[in-house]
Chain A
C-alpha cells in the first residue's frame, strides 16, 4: 500500500483536488502596485487543472513558495476579467510574502484552492451596495467590483469606500476612473493627506456621517483591518442596516484552508471554510469578544 496524498475520487463534484498538495502555476506577469505590494498573474502549468479550476470573488488560495511556505491570498480578480489567469495581489510583509517579492516571470509557485466562502453577489442583487475596504482589503473585493460592473443593472446605487494610509498607498489608482464611469461612486479616503491631495482625508467609516443610506435596501461588503471593519459595522448597524446584509471578510492565521489544521478557528467556525466572508449576523456573539 502506498500513500496517495491526492484524492479526487472520494469527493463530491467540482474542484476538489486540493487537500494537501499544491499545483504549480507559472508567473506570467508581475505588476508592481505600490511600494511593498505586487500583483502576480499566474497560469497553472497543468492544463487539466487550469480547466477545472473555478472560483468566486472573495475566495482565496494557499499560495506556496518553495522553501518559504504557504500564505492565504485572495483572488484579486475574476476569471472573466483575467482571461482565465489567476491574479493575486500580495503585500510583502512576512516570510512567505517577502519570498514572493524575489520571484520573476517564468518562476512557479504552488497553489491549493480555491477555499472559503465568497461575496454574496447573487443574494444582494437589487440592493444598493456599499463596498467599504481599506489597505490590502481592496484586492479581495476587486473581483466583486468587476462582477458588479459587468452586471451593473442588477444592483442599485453602488458606492466604493476605499481608505489607505496616504495617497501613495492607494492600490489600483489607475482603475478608479474606469470604475467611476462604470457607475460606481468612488469615495477614496486617506488617513493623512499631503499638499497636493484634493480627495477626502479621514477614515472609511466616516462616510456614513455624510451620506444617507436606505437601510432596507442596502448591503455592505467590508474587508480591511479588523478595527476598520468594526467601525464600519457600528456605523452600518447604527443606520439600521440589518446585520444579515453586512458582509465581512475575516483574517486569521491559516495553514490548511479546509477546516483541518485548527488554526483559523473562532467560536463555532473555521474561518477558512465557514468564511472568510460571513454575514455579520453569524458573528454577532463572537466578533466583539476580545482575544477570542
Chain B
C-alpha cells in the first residue's frame, strides 16, 4: 500500500511523472491527493460535475454507462497507471458522461482538474506535456472503443454477400 502522506513517492511510480521537470512535478503533486477506495465505491456518476482527473495506482476501476432497459454497462476498466476522468481537464466539458466505480480495492491519485487546467494555461510547456499525455490516453481509448464497436466476436450477422 502507498503511504498516504507520500503522494510524491506514489506519483513517481507513474511513468509519465518521471518525465516531468522537478518543478512541474512539484506543482502537479501539490494539486494531488491519494484516495483508497474499497471495491464497490463510486468515484463519480454520470452527470456529476467534473472535479478531478484520476490515475489508478493499484486495483481496478470500471467505467460504466446506464442504458435504460439494460442497466449499467461496463465498457472499460482502468488498470494501474491508467488515467480516467480525463475529460475534466479538457475545456468545454462540464459534467461526467460516464460513471466510475472501484471493482477491486483500489488506490487512486486524484488531481484537481481545475488546478491542472490553470497550470497548463499559465505554463504552456507544461500544458503541452499534459495535453500530449492526454492525447495518448484518448487515442488508446478510441482504439478500444472502435474494436468494441466492431463487435469482433459476434456471430455472422449476414450470410454470403454478392
B-binding residues in A (CB < 8 A): 36, 93-94, 134-135, 163-165, 169, 191-195, 197-203, 205-206, 209-210, 224-225, 227-228, 231
Q: Mark B81-93, 1 if CB is under 8 A from A, else 0.
A: 1100000000000
Q: Mark B131-159, 1 if CB is under 8 A from A, else 0.
A: 00000000010011001101111111000
With A205-B147, A210-B80, A231-B143: A194-B153 Cβ-Cβ less than 8 Å: no
In the complex, A36 Cα to B155 Cα: how many Å?
10
In the complex, A107 Cα to B34 Cα: how many Å?
62
Contact across chains for B79 and A210 when beta carbons are under 8 A apart = yes
Can you report 27 A-B residue pairs in the complex whose CB atoms are below 8 A from each other? Answer: A36-B155, A93-B155, A163-B153, A165-B153, A165-B154, A192-B73, A192-B75, A193-B73, A193-B77, A194-B71, A194-B73, A194-B74, A199-B77, A200-B60, A201-B62, A201-B76, A202-B76, A202-B148, A203-B143, A203-B144, A203-B147, A205-B147, A210-B82, A225-B152, A225-B153, A227-B147, A228-B152
Q: Cβ of B152: which chain A residues have Cβ within 8 Å of it?
A: 134-135, 224-225, 227-228
Contact of A202 among B77, B104, B156 (CB under 8 A): B77
Contact across chains for A200 and B77 when beta carbons are under 8 A apart = yes
In the complex, A191 Cα to B154 Cα: how many Å?
11
In the complex, A197 Cα to B71 Cα: how many Å?
14
Residue B72 at the chain A interface, CB threshold 8 Å? yes
Chain B: residues with Cβ within 8 Å of the partner, total of 29
From A93, A199, A203, residue with most partner B Cβ within 10 Å: A203
Residue B39 at the chain A interface, CB threshold 8 Å? yes
Q: In the complex, what's the smallest C-beta–C-beta distance from B75 to chain A, in angstroms?
A: 6
In the complex, A164 Cα to B60 Cα: how many Å?
19
Q: Cβ of A225: which chain B residues have Cβ within 8 Å of it?
A: 152-153
Q: Cβ of B62: which chain A residues have Cβ within 8 Å of it?
A: 193, 201
A-binding residues in B (CB < 8 A): 39, 60, 62-63, 71-77, 79-82, 103-104, 140, 143-144, 147-148, 150-156
Contact across chains for B143 and A201 when beta carbons are under 8 A apart = no
With A195-B71, A203-B144: A134-B153 Cβ-Cβ less than 8 Å: yes
Whose C-beta in chain B lies nearest to the C-beta of A226?
B152
Contact across chains for B143 and A206 when beta carbons are under 8 A apart = yes
Q: Cβ of B140: which chain A residues have Cβ within 8 Å of it?
A: 206, 209
Q: In the complex, what's the smallest C-beta–C-beta distance from B23 to chain A, in angstroms?
A: 27
Contact across chains for B79 and A198 when beta carbons are under 8 A apart = no
Contact across chains for B150 and A227 when beta carbons are under 8 A apart = yes
In the complex, A210 Cα to B14 Cα: how many Å?
11
